[in-house]
Amino acid sequence: MQDLWRLSATELAGLIKSKKVSAKEAAEAGLARLDAVNPKINAVVDHRRDDVVAQAASIDVAIARGDDLGPLVGVPVTIKIGADQQGFATTDGMKLQRGNIARVDNPAVANLRRAGAILLGRTNCPTASYRWFTTNLIHGDTKNPRDPGITPGGSSGGAGAAVATGIGHIAHGSDIAGSIRYPAYACGVHGLRPSLGRIPAFNPCSEGRPIGPQIGAVSGPLARTINDLRISLAAMSAPDARDPWYAPVALEGPPRPKRVAMCLNPDGLNPVPEVVAAVEDAGKRLQRAGWLVEKIEDTPSMHEPADILTKLWLGDGYEAQLEMAEREGDPGALACLRGIRDKVHPFDLSKALTRRDTLTRAWFAFLDKYPVLLMPVSGELPFPDHLDLKDAASFARVWHAQLPQIAIPFMGLPALTVSTGLVGRVPVGVQLVAGRYREDLCLAAGEAIEAGGTPSAAIDPEN
């Protein structure tokens, strides 16, 4: 059983529950895989071998007692460095936070632990999780394992690179403007941004969050199979009283028709031909699986939600964020804040929240008619690494291409990146969106798209 790291989380948990494999063996396989490939990609930036082995030993003892430890029993998973994990620094990619040691787990992390998962290591992100590229001055540069010349995505770039290479079977990520969906897209795996309130969110070692992150940022899973996303969502969404936005809503909603709206060019995105082809191919896979796919010319507004979400994220407390970035000295964080200043400053919170009410109503009506929306993740294939630092035109190009990712969180909707294949060795995929708390519809459509293509598998990093 030398290649346990190749298995899906579902397969591995089944072997451990049936006592065909021990949690210790799963942990040792995960650690060996980390040792073998992480030096090439720098996806995991903090881990403690003794802690991992101790977690596995505790799980094996519990299994021997006959305890039921949950759906992820013995499954190695990774945690993003922006989430509190007891005893580890929540750096969020910042030197300024290297001493920010968590005393207790973030709710999503605690839920993974309670579901029986083994917390294998901490994954990298850009400074303050600002970019769709992953580097910082404390942990260094994360490389895309499929092609080191392209971004691994961000901000959960370490998560995407780790799970793509078999460092863990599931990766925890967080998403306010694409930070789960884009690394999944760039690294050729799947990534789910849940609805606002689905997975409880709170970092005890930090102060309360401004309203933008409160209504925009969520935790969620990245994985190599859609079913692994499903079981990890179930595990991560257990209740936690520390999140006032938490919504105790059933994971399975009432039946809806298998009806998909396919939009190739939402709100003037003008995607490249390879992206259009991926969306069309996904539509054909859905049709073959019995879904009704209707091609539509446009969606409700995406530019306005994206613009206001950006203001809520970066404009609320802009000067304080800029001052922090200047003290940190990270070029990427500074380029992000300086490049976006004219879009977010000054900021009118009342107007932003008033428009959210109107825009969300329009999207709810659209998704009542069409249970699932199929569209691009990005207007381009994954970018050359650090394209946003090249010049002003490149910075603007990146932000325009990411429109479908930035808009959706403003309405609190769930969205799923489904990896659909490669263009050369560059990954491509599609995005599925459904009504609030209807992750089940995204996952059902995603499973049909996944089944129509090449099965996913962990890869060795390319040179």
Q: Which residues are catalytic?
A: 80, 155, 179
Q: Note whether 332 and 127 are within 8 A (CB).
A: yes
In DSSP notation, 113-168 reads: HHTT-EEEEEE---GGG-SSS-EETTTEEPPPSS-TTB---SSSHHHHHHHHTTSS
Count Cβ atoms within 10 A of the Cβ of residue 327 and give its class: 0-12 exposed, 13-18 middle, 19 or more buried.
exposed
In whole angstroms, what is the distance from residue 165 CA to residue 123 CA? 13
Least Cα distance to 80 among 164, 155, 169 occurs for 155
Q: Name 350's Cβ contacts closer than 8 Å, sequence gap at least 6.
A: none
In whole angstroms, what is the distance from residue 417 CA to residue 193 CA? 8
What angle do the packed helices 9-17 and 23-41 form, to 10 degrees? 150
Question: What's the token pair of residue 104?
Answer: 């207790």
Least Cα distance to 169 among 121, 106, 208, 133 occurs for 121
Distance of CA 193 to the CA centre of its chain: 6
